[in-house]
């Protein structure tokens, strides 16, 4: 298994395209993208847990109920959430893609990202979708078109083997602010040429997202539009994966490499972030949080069980005070314990060890729940790095979890203070 170029076009038979259709105020930024498979795909998706779901989410949930799809259309600049004519406009967007790509409307995944509560200018999509040039190897254009407050393109592809055949899986995603478990303003589109049934695809995706995208937090807000969708067209020529076994394990390992990489990129680029700080929860999305300057990776080990470790880890990563301390390179370990204390998870407060780490070194700041004398200059140097780890060790069991997040900076407030303008 190895990382390759190509994003969503790395797998055989997938094209992508992007165009500026006029949804966004920008006169230069592309705001509409499409992805197309040469043949019908097995398909699966996971969606936002927010009770308020955008119209594209509701339509896609219906379209994917049979586990099949061929195309994706996604616009940026308008979320089509809580907006007039929401479902009607989502259907019109799907029909625009269907006409342009010569597929059935029911085989189209629809996604939107942007401002909530405003009517989608679907006429712009209908006018321009047909003129979009769909090309193999065009993943980067699609990745750029789905960005909103993102500052970096997030894409990856992996090559692996199944049934002795070379298979490929790749993805693009956007996510910067409103990122909080479970999934938040996060759109991810993954394609593979591995032949796999929709049932096994759904099983693999749901299990994987729980340990990647759902362990990223930027700002504690969960969006109305989150979606992670995967299409598998089977063009690698392997025998279809229809049950657990070595080929399913190989697929799951490749999928995990893709989603973990994208998740980390989101955390590192969080809104207002300036550094990437390690609170081991999820990585690429964390790294790209709105305004983020640091990626945090937080790892909790030795907890009673995995659920307890995850609860503690997410609480640390979500803490505004922990994020602010990371921004200021302040080894304020008391905020870590505080976040653990209000997490609702049970743990022995007198068996907690906390350390900060980065490429500059490691410093233990708390042991058995009590502060230690430590080198403040070394601690600051460690926390000054773009990627920082917060490692928490307990002595209660085998529960180990890593989550990702980012620091909280002045820029986050600036970005979100005038988001609509």
| Distance spanning both ends of the chain, measured CA to CA | 45
- The number of beta carbons lying within 10 Å of the beta carbon of residue 205 is 21
* Exposure string over 304-316, b if 16+ CB within 10 A, otherwise e: beeebbbbbbbbb
* Exposure string over 254-277, b if 16+ CB within 10 A, otherwise e: bbbbbbbbbbbbbbbbbbbbbbbb
Instruction: Give the β-pairing of 274-276 and 187-192.
Output: unpaired
Cα distance between residue 249 and residue 200, in whole Å: 11
- The number of beta carbons lying within 10 Å of the beta carbon of residue 15 is 21
Per the residue annotation, which of 113, 155, 185, 191 is the catalytic one? Answer: 185
| CB contact at 8 A, 198 and 283 | no
| CB contact at 8 A, 158 and 24 | no
Largest separation between any pair of C-alpha atoms in the chain: 68
**Cα angle 334, 368, 283; round to 5:** 55
| CB contact at 8 A, 236 and 254 | no
Cα distance between residue 62 and residue 56, in whole Å: 10
For this structure, is 149 an active site residue? Answer: no
DSSP state of 132: P
- The number of beta carbons lying within 10 Å of the beta carbon of residue 59 is 24
DSSP state of 5: S
Give the residue numbers annotated as catalytic, written as ranges.
Answer: 185
């Amino acid at each position: 298994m190895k990382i390759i170029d190509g994003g969503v076009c790395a797998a055989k038979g997938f094209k992508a395209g992007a165009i500026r259709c006029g949804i966004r105020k920008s006169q230069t930024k592309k705001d509409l993208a499409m992805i197309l498979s040469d043949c019908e795909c097995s398909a699966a998706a996971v969606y936002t847990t927010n009770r308020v779901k955008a119209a594209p989410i509701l339509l896609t949930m219906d379209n994917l109920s049979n586990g099949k799809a061929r195309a994706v259309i996604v616009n940026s600049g308008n979320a089509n959430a809580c907006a007039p004519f929401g479902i009607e406009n989502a259907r019109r967007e799907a029909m625009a893609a269907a006409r342009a790509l010569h597929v059935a409307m029911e085989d189209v995944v629809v996604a939107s990202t942007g401002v909530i509560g405003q009517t989608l200018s679907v006429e712009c999509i209908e006018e321009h979708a047909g003129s979009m040039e769909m090309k193999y190897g065009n993943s980067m254009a699609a990745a750029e078109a789905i960005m909103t407050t993102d500052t970096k393109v997030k894409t990856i592809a992996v090559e692996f083997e199944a049934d002795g055949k070379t298979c490929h899986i790749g993805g693009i995603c956007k996510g910067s602010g409103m990122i909080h478990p479970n999934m938040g303003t996060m759109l991810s589109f993954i394609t593979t040429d591995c032949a796999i049934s929709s049932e096994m695809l759904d099983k693999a995706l749901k299990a994987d997202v729980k340990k990647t995208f759902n362990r990223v937090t930027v700002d504690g807000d969960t969006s109305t539009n989150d979606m992670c969708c995967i299409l598998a067209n089977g063009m690698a020529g392997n025998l279809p994966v229809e049950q657990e076994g070595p080929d399913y394990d190989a697929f799951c390992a490749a999928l995990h490499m893709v989603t973990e990489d994208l998740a980390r990129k989101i955390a590192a680029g969080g809104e207002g972030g300036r550094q990437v700080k390690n609170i081991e929860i999820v990585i690429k999305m964390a790294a790209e949080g709105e305004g983020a300057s640091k990626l945090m990776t937080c790892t909790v080990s030795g907890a009673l069980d995995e659920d307890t470790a995850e609860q503690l880890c997410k609480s640390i990563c979500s803490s505004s005070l922990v994020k602010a301390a990371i921004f200021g390179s302040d080894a304020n370990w008391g905020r870590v314990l505080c976040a653990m204390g209000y997490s609702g998870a049970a743990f022995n407060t007198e068996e907690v060890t906390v350390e900060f780490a980065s490429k500059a070194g490691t410093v233990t700041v708390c042991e058995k729940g009590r502060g230690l004398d430590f080198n403040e200059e070394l601690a600051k140097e460690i926390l000054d790095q773009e990627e920082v780890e917060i490692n928490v060790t307990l002595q209660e069991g085998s529960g180990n979890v890593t989550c990702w997040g980012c620091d909280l900076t002045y820029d986050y407030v600036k970005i979100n203070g005038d988001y609509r303008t």
